[in-house]
Structure 1
Amino acid sequence: MAANDSIFLHAHEAPGQHSVQRCDVCGQDVPELDASPACPQCGGLLAIIHRAPLDSMGAPVDAAALKHAFSQHCCARPAGHASGVWRFERLVMPTAGAAITSHPEGNTPLMARARVSAWAGCDGLLLKHEGYNPTGSFKDRGMTAGTTQAVRTHATAVACASTGNTSASLASYAAQAGIPGLVFVPAGKVALGKMAQTLAYGATTLLVRGDFDECLRLVQEASRELGIYLLNSINPWRVEGQKTIVLEVLQQLGWDVPDFIVLPAGNLGNTAAFGKALREAHALGLIAKLPRLVSVQAAGAAPFARAFREGFRERHRVQAETIATAIRIGDPASWDRAVRAIRDTNGLVLSVTDDEIIDAKVQIDAAGVGCEPASAASVAGVKQLVRDGIINAGDRVVAVLTGHVLKDPGMLVDLHQERRDFAQANRPVEIEASVAAVAEVIASRSGARA
């Protein structure tokens, strides 16, 4: 078991500090404003431990008061936080103050779509679409917190390794904060939409001859040796931002806990963040029970799913290959934290094939929602669990869509315009400039639907 099993700081711990960074492995505490990328004593991952929220008299704040406080922040109330992350400031970074760097982000929709629910076989399926964040993915939630910490620690530069979404987000937030950004991406393996964002926002982009895991190794070395502030999901403040996905879902549901929360899984940062959010919400009395977390990996990048089937007896690493580039990761960095999240919630880990991901994506896209391929893994996972009798048709299930449909336009063009073996392709039709030609297409499409 990890050394860091705390949920909140006790009264005698870290006097004078609202939060500390605590090593998962050895339990060493690091001051809140220390910019170390890992534990200086043993190299373990750091996690943020806060004091439980207190009122002006120093007494614990009850759940009803916290819920009321959260409800006072929304886009319609200029005096509060418009951000769906900083609405939960007391649980994310209580002392952030004027350093907050926000677009704002969050406030993403929770959607019901009959077409997707029917395909998955779950009437109670809801889609939490994180693609509605400013740069088109959930990464903005973690990046607003990580960049705010970079501002607080006077970082001279920020950096990350990325399969695309993290680099786009870092580039945007670094530009807003006025801090140079450096991104390490695997050469030839980043979707066009994500690369375009990174370049447009002005980050220095390094194309590394290797996969994501090689990029992460390199950026960690550069962070240690060159003093660059690391903003991958192993950064503990990134986790604090990403856990607000769950807090926002719970608030949107009136704090009525769903039966399952299903999410795509690559580097396992979200799995870890979701587990931390649920533990804290339960400890504070915001929720009465824990939902089951389900992490869904692509079959070609599924070391965590394999370990789950074996009871997490061994950590596995694979050479990752999948159409879902955002989760094409063979050696997940947040492994131990994700194991804890799955165990704490009686959760599940499974894998879905690329064909299953594409089938789910087609349904999501055709429902007018749209998502990048990795996002569709969550809905494909729901369908698999319904088929296996684990999710019932009437269960309330939240499937997280992590990225926008335009994150991978190349894949869409290939699927609908180039591939001749894809029966559901929606190919564009070239016509003469006449109403008769338009009528002919309408008639042919009407006949096909009939």
Structure 2
Amino acid sequence: MTTYHCPQDGTRSPISALTWCCPVCRGPWDLDFTPAPGLTPHVLPGRANSLWRYEEILPLAAPEVSLGEGRTPLVPLTDTVSAKLDYLMPTLSFKDRGAVMLAELARRLNPGRVVADSSGNAGTSIAAYCARAGLPCTVYVPEGTSPKKTEQIRAHGAEVVTVPGGREATALAARAAADEEGVFYASHVFNPYFLHGTKTYVYELWEDLGGRLPDTLVVPVGNGTLLLGAALATAELHALGLIADRPRLVAVQAEAVSPLAEAFRVGAEDLLPAGSGEAAPTLAEGIAIPRPPRARQILAAVRASGGTFLTVPEDEIRDAQRDLAARGFYVETTGVACWAAVRDGAAHRPPGSMVVPLCGAGVKTGMAG
């Protein structure tokens, strides 16, 4: 294993220290890691049919906690838009890509307890993979979290702690627990191993599209873990000489909770001054994050790619969920936001080929009213 480093001030920490954030600025870690050479389309046939087939680009190898995650289908929606069906993962959301990395890391570090915070999907994934690893797990969730999601977390044997308030209050409660001795904070935001799991989303696209990527990757953004994983993957593929050009990154937020889109539109490098500290109500609960800790990195990644931010109102989220269901895809409300932003007739539809992720299954939340 390598070391953590802080992208803001350069502070370093060994992974074994269980230090979940930079002790100087309290910001998220990045990882000192460079992919090994050797990955080409020709070496992949015959390898494991999971995200672990991309062994050269992963900071962990030979996992014991895998549930067969990854290698989800890529299906056309229109002539130019395809959907990657990441809701067909073991726990029914894309978060399995990062959760398996955190659980495998925790298994190797053998902490006394694993804690996580989540509006549902990340917590479910962490609970499932900790069960696979035989690790005790506590998941902090905000009040109002879908009962179907908390039921799934408990089914995997994790303790659920319901926190009054929204995502910000829940994160603060989990971080207080993470400061206790012997605790591994399986944070999909602060721990960069999660990003090295989500980046496999793009490696799968590269493989399935014959060694290329679409013109645009459209990604829902709350804490930005899928977008930052995508940015990491495109940078690695380019550095390895496996793609000539990087795709645009188009980030989608709910109009009701769009702090990153607001900052992007005024040219800010970071979030604008804080408001109430909690998110407004939105159907897209999974991306209702008012103060994402990696905001600077998200904004910089979108700008560097030549991309942009799009926002969608609640009525378009409802309509997009029904539209996808009519096409055979039953997806939760957060997972339809990208389709709402770019489907035929959308006001700011990007040109060229694009892929949208269908991130979570509709059975987790049901149809929007």
TM range (shorter): over 0.9
User: Relative to structure 1, is the Cα distance of residues 367 and 384 closer, same or farther in structure 2, using a 3 angstrom cutoff?
Assistant: closer
The 2-side partners of 1:200 and 1:380 are apart by 32
Q: 1:411-430 residue pairs with structure 2 within 5 A?
A: 412=367, 415=369
The 2-side partners of 1:49 and 1:242 are apart by 17
User: Relative to structure 1, is the Cα distance of residues 306 and 71 closer, same or farther in structure 2, using a 3 angstrom cutoff?
Assistant: farther
Choose from 207, 227, 230 the match for 2:162. Answer: 207
4+ aligned runs moved over 6 Å, structure 1: none
- Displacement, 1:335? 1.1
Aligned residue identity for 1:89: E
Percent of aligned positions with the same letter in both sequences? 32
Count how many residue pairs are aligned between Structure 1 and Structure 2: 364
Partner of 1:354: 314
Partner of 1:339: 299
Partner of 1:383: 343
Choose from 244, 264, 267 the match for 2:220. Answer: 264
Partner of 1:327: 287
Aligned residue identity for 1:214: A
- The DSSP-based 3-state class of the residue aligned with 2:343 is helix
Aligned residue identity for 2:271: R
The 2-side partners of 1:343 and 1:89 are apart by 29
Aligned residue identity for 1:405: G
Choose from 276, 283, 301 the match for 2:257. Answer: 301
- The DSSP-based 3-state class of the residue aligned with 1:202 is coil
User: Relative to structure 1, is the Cα distance of residues 44 and 332 closer, same or farther in structure 2, using a 3 angstrom cutoff?
Assistant: closer
- The DSSP-based 3-state class of the residue aligned with 1:275 is helix
Structure with bigger helix share is 1
- Displacement, 1:295? 0.8
Q: 1:354-373 residue pairs with structure 2 within 5 A?
A: 354-373=314-333
RMSD: 1.9
Partner of 2:365: 408
Q: What per-residue deviation string (whole Å, max 9, x for no partner) do you get for residues 27-46 of structure 1?
A: 23333444221124443321
- Is 1:165 equivalent to 2:139 in the alignment? no
Aligned residue identity for 1:273: G
The 2-side partners of 1:107 and 1:201 are apart by 23
Q: What per-residue deviation string (whole Å, max 9, x for no partner) do you get for residues 88-114 of structure 1?
A: 2221224x33x541101011111113x
The 1-side partners of 2:112 and 2:186 are apart by 13
The 1-side partners of 2:163 and 2:343 are apart by 36
The 2-side partners of 1:348 and 1:70 are apart by 33
TM-score, length basis structure 1: 0.77
Partner of 1:243: 199
TM-score, length basis structure 2: 0.93
- The DSSP-based 3-state class of the residue aligned with 1:225 is coil
Q: What per-residue deviation string (whole Å, max 9, x for no partner) do you get for residues 206-232 of structure 1?
A: 010111111111211210134321112
| Counterpart contact for 1:385–1:391, Cα < 8 Å | no
Q: 1:75-94 residue pairs with structure 2 within 5 A?
A: 81-84=48-51, 86-94=52-60
- Displacement, 1:235? 1.0
Partner of 2:3: 20
Partner of 1:35: 18
Aligned residue identity for 2:172: R
Larger Rg: 1
Partner of 1:425: none
- The DSSP-based 3-state class of the residue aligned with 1:293 is strand
| Counterpart contact for 1:48–1:237, Cα < 8 Å | yes
Once the two structures are overlaid, the 10-residue window that deviates more, 143-152 or 100-109, is: 100-109
